Structure 1
């Protein structure tokens, strides 16, 4: 799981755990990974595991083959800490949200030094995080 998260936020992974408002932790429950404060964790300890449906924020789940998949709910927590971002033009936003690829003409801005196959967070032109993905080309290839 940390490998997937590090793909997007690199060295800022520690910032998710050590928040200024308190310490947060990641817990596995029913093949899902939840992100919660230690205060919520202590309160949830009073509830039996079979009665507990969900905890604070679901970061992702483990598949049957035990591969980790990030959920879209993690986007609000990844976006402020990510190093590499791409901004999409308003015309292309709808197409991206329906699951299509973003082509070069649909990119508004791109951060410097993105390598090929690097994890990026996709933003609208007004800095609203829309999703995350993998860059098929590096920054230098996109500028050509």
Structure 2
């Protein structure tokens, strides 16, 4: 596993700050030890430094992965978060969207969230802000990007898309062959 290049580290931290803001520091300096991000075959892994030291005895070709896969870099150097990062990012999320119980299944099938499916939304969220999508019972369901700001949502038509779908916990089943 290798360190992220400066360019890729910048892309990763910009994307993280889009979802969790200044809480990135809490993600790295945790009470149970220091964690870091490493790259292996264009995938970004979140791993404890203690586990990372233990994995150094394996060669590049022998190592499948170490830690939790946070995302993958595309050929155009864009980072797409995998759903495995959800449980690490959800507690630190600045902006959240809750979907109605009648729309949870639609979101888990990969559909965008219209205003009619919106249960609640955090205040002062801007347009194109990264959000974590929750069920009304506070279960994290996935990631999204707001299509409209919080103030625009109040006056929007019920069929207007409020949040664009990025990934969800239903991806494990839908993309089982290609995700990992």
Tell me how far 1:125 sits from its aligned partner. 0.5
Tell me how far 1:67 sits from its aligned partner. 1.5
Aligned residues: 144
In 2, distance between residues paired with 1:61 and 1:53?
14
In 1, distance between residues paired with 2:80 and 2:13?
11
Per the alignment, residue 141 of structure 2 pairs with: 130
Per the alignment, residue 56 of structure 1 pairs with: 67
Per the alignment, residue 57 of structure 2 pairs with: 46
Per the alignment, residue 69 of structure 1 pairs with: 80
Per the alignment, residue 92 of structure 2 pairs with: 81
RMSD: 0.8
Deviations 1:26-59 (A, max 9, x none): 0011111100101100100011111000111000
Tell me how far 1:3 sits from its aligned partner. 1.1
Q: Does 1:112 align with 2:123?
A: yes
> Any stretches of 5+ residues in structure 2 without a counterpart?
1-11, 156-180
From 86, 89, 93, the equivalent of 2:104 is 93
The two structures have a TM-score, normalised by structure 1, of 0.97
Per the alignment, residue 16 of structure 2 pairs with: 5
Moved over 3 A (4+): none
